[in-house]
Amino acid sequence: MNAITKDASKPVAGAAGSRLAALNAWVAEVAALARPDAIHWCDGSDAENAALVARMQADGTLIKLDEKAHPNSWLHRSHPDDVARVEHLTFVCTRERDDAGPNNHWMAPAEAHAKIDALFDGCMRGRTMYVIPYCMGPIDSPLSRCGVEITDSPYVVANMRIMTRMGAPALARIEREGRFVKGLHSIGELDPERRFIMHFPEEATIKSYGSGYGGNALLGKKCHALRIASWQARQEGWLAEHMLILGVENPQGETHYIAAAFPSACGKTNLAMLIPPEGYRAQGWKVWTVGDDICWMRPGADGRLYAINPEAGFFGVAPGTSAKSNPNALATIQRDTLFTNVALTEDGRPWWEGLDDGRTPAFDWRGRPFDPGKGPAAHPNSRFTVSAQQCPSWSPKAEDPQGVPISAIVFGGRRPSLVPLVFEARDWTHGVLVGAAMGSETTAAATGAVGVLRRDPMAMKPFCGYNFADYFAHWLSFDKPGARLPKIFHVNWFRKGDDGGFLWPGFGENLRVLEWMIGRVEGRAGAVETPIGHLPRASDLNLDGVELSEEARARLFAFDRAGWQAEFESIGAYLDEYGPRMPQALKDEQRRIAQALGG
């Protein structure tokens, strides 16, 4: 690696008086603390990446996959105790505890810096310190924001190269703007007892120690693009959201863009890469993928919300990805992909549960000969990292500096009962309440109790960088004179029948629901007004070619007044948990609907 390691004493891209002086000073400060053997400023070049990959292959960090089946693709196995986000060790460190809110773990900034800096002290001895300038969003977009991650993990560098616009162009933008989010990361000893992810939103700073896993270590992702960005967005008048972005193009060539927020295990990536049913494809319908995870939205001059996907790649869950569930995702990851904690076949191909390719795993995610008695072959949270541009449905509009105009915002959760297939909020305030109240019901297999509702507002519970009450107020603030806000909808693909099976087929058939939403946006689709919003009748959707039982038709479009009375009582109690900061407008909306329900 010495061949591509620059002299740490040399400032980058300009003299000490330039706008990079603050960056150079910070890098020197971190180097004095962590004491690495060498410092490498990442430029994002192919040569740099090749040298990093060669080093990781040599030391076993990366395993080369079968070149013929998966060209330029690799497997990484993380430490068995380092396989997921660690939300209980993730802190938002604001001066005032109430600014972080009850939805976050809080620690005072001075205490947090002292605690984690003690871990960083000397932690990079014997290692190279990598300085990664990156841009979240198209490099020339006014909606984008830059950051710099310092890390001692070449695996992180390889992932950040795929997931962000990393290297020289980002550094040039940082020099122009003179501002960036600081991210400091070390894998440390990978000791679960010495692991923290600290966020300092008032300082635009992230510090992460003791993990090499995805969201804990790729600081551009959840840490920057959601926790820090959500704070910045409130200060600057925009929204940083845990949402996919897709475009629906009709046979006339008109495209509507939709942003959608779902909690985990509710099909975000599948929806983002949806393939229309055969009948729709024959008519000329197309679905375009702009992003599968994060959405930054800002009001445009015309009053509409415009959105970018700040990420350049997908960091997707592998298990369950198949030719049936998501053929576009499967096609995307056939080459130039970095897999983490999947299983391996005898002939060097990646494998995971649900793949259904006729092969069997030879080695599990830990590298052991596969034994079904020792658990699944691939870790349930195993991942793929791949460029978004490899997706067959990728939209060139994803690189549009101005973003795409959003026609509809969709919230959804996994609700086996009560919640219909789709409904539309009456107005923006009602829509914010719909998002604030969204969640999923647990199952006996997962928790030992059936029907326990876990609320996950806007799917942001693990990711909002400040008090949810203030976050809801920020959402409400967009409803002002001149605004042309998107319509807001709620979907539930997971309604179940008496036999426990899903009543709606899902996957590509979800386009039928999106078509109805677009019809509502354009003012031509029918609906029935109820206290909870506008519900379609079965006849309002194009259900040609879909086999739905009488039970399905009855329940998917049903309004259960008694059930919703109990639901809105629960929503009221949930809003009260946030105390006096909860916007009165949202509480009033809850009470108005509760009264309309007769509760």
Q: Is 268 annotated as a binding residue?
A: yes
The verdict on whether residue 381 carries a ligand-binding annotation is yes
- pLDDT tens for each residue of 208-248: 999 999 999 999 999 999 999 999 999 999 999 999 999 99
Q: For residue 545, is pLDDT > 80?
A: yes
List, for residues 362-388, the tens digit of each pLDDT value: 999 999 999 999 999 999 999 999 999
Q: Is 383 annotated in some ligand binding site? A: yes
State pTM to two decimals: 0.96
Q: Please indicate, yes or no, whether residues 374 and 521 belong to a single structural domain of this protein.
A: no
Are 327 and 413 in the same domain? Answer: no
Q: Which domain holds residue 434?
A: 241-312+397-596
Q: From the centroid of its chain, how far is CA 174?
A: 24
Together in a domain, 217 and 232: yes
Give the side-chain half-sphere CA count within 13 A for 564: 19
Determine if residue 104 is labeled as part of a ligand binding site: no
- Of 390, 421, 450, the last residue of a domain is 390
- For residues 436 and 323, membership in a common domain is answered with no
Q: Say whether both 365 and 477 belong to one domain.
A: no
Query: Computed from CA positions of residues 228, 305, 268, 411, in that sequence, does the dihedral angle turn out positive or negative?
Result: positive
Question: Is 407 part of any known ligand binding site?
Answer: no
Q: How far apart are CA 387 and CA 409, in angstroms?
A: 25
Q: What was the pLDDT predicted at 109?
A: 98
| Active site annotation includes 266 | yes
Distance CA 593, CA 599 (A): 9
Cα(195)–Cα(439) distance, integer angstroms: 29
Q: For residue 501, count other CB atoms closer than 10 A to its CB.
A: 9
* pLDDT classification of 451: cutoffs 50, 70, 90: low
* CA dihedral of 540, 541, 546, 548, whole degrees rounded to 10: -50
Tell me if 319 is assigned to some domain: yes
Count the domains in the chain: 3
Q: Which of 93, 266, 391, 464 is catalytic?
A: 266
Q: What is the pLDDT of residues 503-541, one digit of tens each?
A: 999 999 999 999 999 999 999 999 999 999 999 999 999
Last residue of a domain, one of 342, 370, 390: 390
Is 215 annotated for ligand binding?
yes
CATH of the domain at 331: 2.170.8.10
Q: Is the predicted pLDDT of residue 9 greater than 60, yes or no?
A: no
Q: How buried is residue 300: exposed, middle or buried, by Cβ count under 10 Å (0-12/13-18/19+)?
A: middle
